[in-house]
C-alpha cells in the first residue's frame, strides 16, 4: 500500500501536526515529518483532522429496495460525509433477521470498499414483533452482529423486549429500540400540539416515545442488559434517560441531525420532505436534545439516513413515506447547531460521532484516536467553508434531503479508510476492496 503524508492538519482542538500513513495505519504524528520521496502528500492547512466517523443508524435499503439505495451508493454517501463505518438497519426485504442476510450486507460493504458496513440484526422475525429472530446466529456470523433493532417498528411487547435484553447479554449485544407506542400513534402524521390542530394533521404525542423509553430503561435495569434508544426527540425522553443514567442503568441514546436543527414549524409548508419518524418536534424539544447532547445525556449523533425514491416523497403528505437523507450533511448540521454556538468542541464531536458510537456498536478498528499504531481512519474537515445544499449533489440514489437550498457550514475535504483515500478534495475516489 502506498504511503501518504498529511501536512499541517489541526488535530481536533490541539496542535497542528503532520500525519504519516503507511500500510493502513498511522506510523508518525508530529511536525516536519520526513516522508518517502514517492509518498502522496495532502495539504491539510486549516483543516480539522477527525477520526473516521461512525454512524449507528443508516438505512441502505439493500436487499429489496435498490431503487432507493444500495450498500454501494449508501457507502459512497457515507464516505462523502466523513464516515468510515455505518450500521445498516435491518428493515430490508428480506429482513435482516438471519445470519445469511446480515452476511450478505456485510460482504457487499467489503466489496464496495468506501466504508465498513456493519449490519444491525432484527430483534424479531420479519420485524413482526411476535418471536425473537436468530440473534445468536447473527452474532456468531462472519458479520459479528452486536446491535439488534426492529427500527421502523417498536418492540412493543414488554415480555418480548425483556427476553431480547436477556438474550443479548451472552455476547455483549445491545437492543436499539425504536420508541413508539403503536396504539398512541395510529394514523399519526406530525408532532402533536397546537400546530397539528391548526394544520389538520393527526398528532403524534411525545408520550408515545416517552412511555416506551421509561418502560425499557426499567427492563434494562431489571435484567442488567444494554439498551440503546434510537432517535430521541422529546424533552421528556431526555429527562427519563438522564434519570436512568443517574441510577447507573446501562442505557445509551442517539439524536439525529434533523432533530437538532429542525422544528415542527417547517411542516407549515405541507412539504412531505419534512415527514419523518419520530416527527420533528417543538422548538423546546429541539433545545432539550441540544442540551442533552452537550452534557452527555445523549451519547451520539446518528443520521437515521433514510433514502426514498422520488415517487414516495413527491405526493400528498398523508401518503408520503417517513424519512430523510442524512449522511452527507450530518457533520455540517452538528457544526451549525453545536460547534459554532460553543456547545461542543471538535474533540467533543469526535467523541459523539466516532469514539462513542464505535464503542456502543462494538466495532473493532473504528472510533480510535489519531495516534501511532492506530488504523488510519480519518476525515479532514474545512470548518470555515460554507456550501448550499443541493438535492442533486449527492452520492445517494435518492434526493429526499430536508436541507436543500440551505447554506450550511463545513465541508468534508477528504476521507481515508485504513489509509486509502475514499474522498479527496471533496470528490469520491474509485476504490477497490
Alpha-carbon distance 169 to 173, whole Å? Answer: 6
Q: Which residues pair with 408 in a beta bridge?
A: 387
Which residues line the annotated binding site for Zn(2+)? 57, 59, 151, 178, 231, 304
Alpha-carbon distance 367 to 357, whole Å? Answer: 7
Which residues line the annotated binding site for substrate? 59-61, 91, 277, 308, 322-323
Alpha-carbon distance 351 to 301, whole Å? Answer: 10
In the block, which residue shows the cell 501536512?
Answer: 7
In the block, which residue shows the cell 439498551?
Answer: 227
In the block, which residue shows the cell 460553543?
Answer: 342
3-state secondary structure of 403: coil
Give the pairing of strands 4-11 and 40-43: parallel
Chain centre to alpha carbon of residue 352: 10
Alpha-carbon distance 135 to 122, whole Å? Answer: 8
Please list, in sequence order, all residues whose beta carbon lies within 8 angstroms of the beta carbon of residue 162, skipping any fewer than 6 positions away.
Answer: 219, 222, 223
End-to-end CA distance of the chain: 12
Give the pairing of strands 407-417 and 420-424: antiparallel
97, 299, 304, 348: which is the annotated catalytic residue? 304
304 a catalytic residue: yes
Q: State the burial class of residue 167 (Cβ atoms within 10 Å of its Cβ: 0-12, 13-18, 19+).
A: buried
3-state secondary structure of 335: helix
In the block, which residue shows the cell 444500495?
Answer: 70
Which residues line the annotated binding site? 57, 59-61, 91, 151, 178, 231, 277, 304, 308, 322-323
Alpha-carbon distance 250 to 89, whole Å? Answer: 22
Half-sphere exposure of 333 (CA within 13 A, CB side): 26
The C-alpha angle with vertex 45 and arms to 40 and 47, in degrees rounded to 5, equals 100
Query: What are the residue numbers of the active site?
Result: 304
Amino acid at each position: 500500500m502506498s504511503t501518504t503524508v498529511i501536512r499541517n492538519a489541526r488535530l481536533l482542538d490541539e496542535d497542528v501536526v503532520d500525519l504519516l500513513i503507511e500500510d493502513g495505519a498511522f506510523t508518525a504524528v508530529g511536525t516536519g515529518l520526513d516522508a518517502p520521496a514517492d509518498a502522496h502528500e495532502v495539504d491539510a492547512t486549516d483543516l480539522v483532522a477527525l477520526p473516521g466517523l461512525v454512524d449507528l443508524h443508516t438505512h441502505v435499503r439493500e436487499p429489496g429496495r435498490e431503487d432507493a439505495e444500495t450498500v454501494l451508493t449508501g457507502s459512497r454517501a457515507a464516505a462523502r460525509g466523513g464516515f468510515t463505518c455505518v450500521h445498516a438497519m435491518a428493515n430490508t426485504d428480506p429482513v435482516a433477521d438471519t445470519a445469511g442476510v446480515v452476511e450478505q450486507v456485510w460482504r457487499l460493504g467489503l466489496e464496495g470498499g468506501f466504508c465498513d458496513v456493519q449490519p444491525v440484526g432484527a430483534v424479531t422475525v420479519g420485524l413482526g414483533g411476535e418471536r425473537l429472530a436468530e440473534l445468536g446466529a447473527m452474532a456468531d456470523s462472519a458479520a459479528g452482529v452486536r446491535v439488534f433493532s426492529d427500527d421502523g417498528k417498536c418492540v412493543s411487547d414488554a415480555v418480548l423486549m425483556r427476553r431480547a435484553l436477556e438474550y443479548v447479554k451472552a455476547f455483549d449485544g445491545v437492543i436499539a429500540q425504536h420508541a413508539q407506542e403503536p396504539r398512541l400513534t395510529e394514523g399519526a402524521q406530525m408532532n402533536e400540539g397546537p400546530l397539528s390542530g391548526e394544520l389538520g394533521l393527526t398528532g403524534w404525542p411525545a408520550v408515545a416515545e416517552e412511555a416506551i423509553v421509561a418502560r425499557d430503561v426499567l427492563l434494562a435495569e431489571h435484567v442488567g442488559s444494554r439498551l440503546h434508544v434510537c432517535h430521541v426527540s422529546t424533552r421528556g425522553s431526555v429527562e427519563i434517560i438522564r434519570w436512568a443514567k443517574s441510577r447507573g442503568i446501562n442505557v445509551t441514546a442517539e439524536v439525529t441531525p434533523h432533530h437538532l436543527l429542525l422544528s415542527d414549524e417547517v411542516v407549515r409548508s405541507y412539504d412531505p420532505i419534512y415527514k419523518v419518524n419520530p416527527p420533528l418536534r417543538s422548538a423546546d424539544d429541539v433545545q432539550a436534545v441540544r442540551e442533552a447532547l452537550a452534557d452527555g445525556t445523549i451519547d451520539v449523533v446518528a443520521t437515521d439516513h433514510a433514502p426514498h425514491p422520488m415517487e414516495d416523497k413527491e405526493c400528498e403528505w398523508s401518503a408520503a413515506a417517513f424519512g430523510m437523507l442524512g449522511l452527507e450533511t450530518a457533520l455540517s448540521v452538528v457544526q451549525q447547531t453545536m460547534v459554532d454556538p460553543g456547545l461542543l468542541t471538535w474533540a467533543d464531536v469526535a467523541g459523539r460521532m466516532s469514539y462513542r458510537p464505535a464503542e456502543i456498536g462494538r466495532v473493532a478498528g473504528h472510533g480510535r484516536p489519531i495516534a501511532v499504531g492506530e488504523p488510519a481512519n480519518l476525515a479532514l474537515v474545512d470548518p470555515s467553508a460554507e456550501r448550499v445544499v443541493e438535492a442533486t449533489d449527492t452520492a445517494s440514489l435518492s434526493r429526499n434531503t430536508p436541507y436543500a437550498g440551505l447554506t450550511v457550514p463545513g465541508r468534508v475535504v477528504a476521507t481515508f479508510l485504513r489509509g486509502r483515500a475514499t474522498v479527496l478534495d471533496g470528490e469520491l475516489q474509485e476504490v477497490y476492496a
